[in-house]
Structure 1
Amino acid sequence: MNTALQRACTVFRNTRMQVRHRSLSRHQATAPQVRIPTAEKLFHFAAITAGIVAIPAWVFVHLDNYKHHD
């Protein structure tokens, strides 16, 4: 039983070593090829933020309507 356990540990250790060195993607991170203007970044940030906050803000403003609904 002990030799089987040792062999299994060796197999798992070798598999772990192979996985550690394997790349999940063939793409490498590099500097951006096209620079995005700051104004465009700010616009997109504002649009995404407004989209996320819009519904909770609307519910918060109309909370009385939800409380008094029969």
Structure 2
Amino acid sequence: MNGALRKATTVFRSALMQSRSTSVTSYATSRPKGIKMSTAERAAHISVIVGTFFAYPVWVLLHLREYRGIQE
């Protein structure tokens, strides 16, 4: 058992050392480097993302009285 454990740790250590120098920073970009996004397009994207993020909570808060059965 000791020999197998020693061999396994050697294999795992060598695999870890081989993959240590790899980097994912070059794959983390969302667009090609040569294409610039205009300010108007960036503002439109941000407004769509923020709007969709807050749409459901706002809808729930607006319909809370209806959900609870409170009559006006």
Q: Give the match for residue 4 of structure 1.
A: 4
Counterpart of 2:6, as a letter, is Q
Mapped to 1, the partners of 2:67 and 2:28 lie a distance apart of: 51
List gaps (5 residues or longer) in structure 2.
none
Q: Give the match for residue 39 of structure 1.
A: 40
1:4-44 Cα offsets, whole Å, 9 max, x none, are 222221111112122324567x8586x82121111110111
- Provide the identity percentage: 37
Q: TM-score, normalised by structure 1?
A: 0.70
Q: TM-score, normalised by structure 2?
A: 0.68
**Moved beyond 4 Å, runs of 4+:** 26-29
Let me know the Cα RMSD of the aligned residues: 2.8
List gaps (5 residues or longer) in structure 1.
none
